[in-house]
Structure 1
Amino acid sequence: MARPKTTLADQAPDMNIEQAEALDSVQHAEVERMAVILRQFSDGIPFEPYRYELIIREHLSRSAEAMLAAGRALIVAKESLGHGDWLPFVERVGVEERVARRMIQAAFKFSDPKTIKLIEAAGNKSKLFELMVLDDEEIAELADGGTVVGLELDDVERMGTRELRAALRDARAEDQAKDKLLADKNTAIDRLTAEVQKARSRIQRATVDEQIVAATNDVAGVCIGLTAEILTPLREAAGRLLALSPDAGAAIAGHVTQVRQALDEISAEFNLGTVTSLVPDWATAEEE
């Protein structure tokens, strides 16, 4: 007969069924998470602190690829060790906790098998650490033979650590400068757009009377300007022609009639009627 499964409720009689099931669910999730970590980063080797210390020490003294293997082992260790055991563990391994953290980050960042060419081009952990400033899409593009921030795989392999760091830094500075320029342009555009919207709002808020006054002033300004543009040049031209040919009055009258007809067309189009005089009656009245 099969032995019945032991649950947390059996181990802790004071715990109610809901609490026990909740704890069982949490434990089950932790077991599944650990299984994923072991499957992805452990190379099939179960965790045992002393064994992983040896693995990490061995990898630390080797290439970039070996450093990533050490980073994967550190991931398993960090997930497996209890609270307070992590710092003593990395001290025994002989690596600073800050460096261990970067190695873990690198192991996650370069976990895709497609990045193997980029890892090989880097060659050592120092250059691999420099490449961590790239985002995941840039790393994938570079590993696939593309050009990222002006660099190709051959450049990564050829450059030393300092040269690679400088190239990445300069590329980032250039990108930041472009981003700032674009942001400044967008800010200026936003400011102008806001000013235009405010101007439109002011126009829309204007009362009907204010709009009538403004339109009346526009008409008056056009007519005054048109009168000045016509009378003075026409008077001068007509005077010169009559001085040379006293019989040219009929020709001048024909041209003046064309101007008058154009003005009459506007009056008819808007049904303006006619005004016999712009001078008020009081200005021409005789004194008694």
Structure 2
Amino acid sequence: MMGRKTSKPTEIEQLDAHIDDEQLAAGASAMSVLGRQSQQVSDQLGYELPYERERVFQEAQFFMTQSAEAMLEAGQRVILMKENEPHGTFLEMLDRLGLHERTAQKIMQATAKFWSPKLKSNAKAISHLGKTKLYELMLEDDDELIALTQGGTIAGLTLDEIDRMTSRELKEALREERAEHRATAEVLNETTSKYNKLKTKQARIAPPNEDDIAAQLRSETGAHALTAESYIRGSVRAGCVALQEHALENETNHDEVMAGIFAQLERAIVEVRSELGIKAIADGNPLPEWARDASVPLAEQ
């Protein structure tokens, strides 16, 4: 019987045991920053639970089938997933939800808009309008949206009127309002541009005298007054017409609201006029009213 060969001991390759402490520290720091950012997003959205992928996904899945108000709840979860997951994983989760990336973007934008600290307390009053109308209202100013929930108007429309109209009608009304604002701004910009060009041209010819400066100041002040007047005759008037129509159709009364608005405008004019000592009527007399009826005649020069 032959003796068993003695086997050689297996040679184990020595692994490089060097650990890059700086790289580990950088990784830990990045994770810490990511964690703080995730918590900050949760705090801003009012989401109190710690992020957990499947729970947040299932919540989003549930809210996707509900009302427009629930759509904002779903948007909250979609934002959380976007902030906490790698981009590829986030896209996979959108696919599982049946959401196109562009649609998800619109939902996140709506949530960020209507659940901002400034608007969140008023979001419920707007969310019943439906998803499509919420998307249309996203571009409106926060203060105007708050005013809308408190009885004001946007594009001359009250909240009830927006609720009754179709999404297409709302889109058209908002488009017309924005076009009107753009046109007004373009006219003012064009006027200002022409004036600046003329001013530059005159400056090349000769330095301005006192009459030129006075004319310039009068022109600028008049332009500001024209802007204020255009808003009163345009947007404010349209809002009051809408309130009157609403009152007729619904047997209600908005007189106190409208009277308050105009009283506020009139009070502003009276206060500024009083502060600056401006006379009430432009009658061509340069003397202030207090000097016209003075019993003591002015000394002859």
Identify the TM-score tier after normalising by the shorter chain. Answer: 0.5 to 0.7
- Which one of 156, 166, 173 corresponds to residue 162 of structure 2? 156
2:144 counterpart of 1:130: no
Whole-angstrom distance in 1 between the partners of 2:98 and 2:75: 14
**Quick check: 2:110–2:135 contact (8 Å CA) kept in 1?**
yes
Structure 2 counterpart of 1:256? none
* Deviation of 1:191 (Å): 1.4
Whole-angstrom distance in 2 between the partners of 1:27 and 1:51: 21
Structure 1 counterpart of 2:99? 95
* Deviation of 1:200 (Å): 0.7
Deviations along 1:228-247, one digit per CA (max 9) or x if unpaired, are: xxxxxxxxxxxxxxxxxxxx
- Which one of 67, 79, 83 corresponds to residue 79 of structure 1? 83
2:197 counterpart of 1:191: yes
* Deviation of 1:201 (Å): 5.6
**Paired amino acid for 2:78:** L
2:123 counterpart of 1:119: no
**Quick check: 1:149–1:168 contact (8 Å CA) kept in 2?**
yes
- Which one of 21, 33, 37 corresponds to residue 33 of structure 1? 37
Change (3 A) 1:101 1:152: same
Structure 2 counterpart of 1:180? 186
- Which one of 200, 206, 219 corresponds to residue 200 of structure 1? 206
User: Which blocks of at least 5 consecutive residues in structure 1 are unaligned?
Assistant: 1-11, 204-288
Deviations along 1:63-91, one digit per CA (max 9) or x if unpaired, are: 11011011001011111112311111101
Whole-angstrom distance in 2 between the partners of 1:116 and 1:201: 57
**Paired amino acid for 1:47:** Y
Q: Which moved more, 1:193-202 or 1:85-94?
A: 193-202
2:79 counterpart of 1:65: no
> Aligned-pair RMSD on alpha carbons?
2.6
Question: Aligned with 1:76: secondary structure?
Answer: helix
Whole-angstrom distance in 2 between the partners of 1:117 and 1:100: 21
Size of the aligned set, in residue pairs, is 189
Whole-angstrom distance in 2 between the partners of 1:202 and 1:127: 54
**Paired amino acid for 1:95:** L
User: Which blocks of at least 5 consecutive residues in structure 2 are unaligned?
Assistant: 1-17, 210-301
Change (3 A) 1:186 1:163: same
- Point out the structure with the larger helix share: 1
Whole-angstrom distance in 1 between the partners of 2:62 and 2:71: 9
* Deviation of 1:132 (Å): 0.7
* Deviation of 1:60 (Å): 1.9
Relative contact order, higher structure (CA 8 A, sep 6+): 2
**Quick check: 1:37–1:76 contact (8 Å CA) kept in 2?**
yes
Question: Aligned with 2:21: secondary structure?
Answer: coil
**Quick check: 1:42–1:76 contact (8 Å CA) kept in 2?**
no
Whole-angstrom distance in 2 between the partners of 1:200 and 1:150: 49
Whole-angstrom distance in 1 between the partners of 2:68 and 2:56: 18
Whole-angstrom distance in 1 between the partners of 2:85 and 2:46: 14
* Deviation of 1:155 (Å): 2.3
**Paired amino acid for 2:40:** V
Q: TM-score with structure 2 length normalisation? A: 0.56
Whole-angstrom distance in 2 between the partners of 1:22 and 1:54: 33
Q: TM-score with structure 1 length normalisation? A: 0.59
Change (3 A) 1:202 1:181: closer
Question: Aligned with 1:85: secondary structure?
Answer: helix
Whole-angstrom distance in 2 between the partners of 1:157 and 1:181: 33
Structure 2 counterpart of 1:56? 60
- Which one of 21, 29, 32 corresponds to residue 15 of structure 1? 21
2:165 counterpart of 1:141: no
* Deviation of 1:20 (Å): 5.8
Q: How does 1:233-272 map to 2 (within 5 A)?
A: none
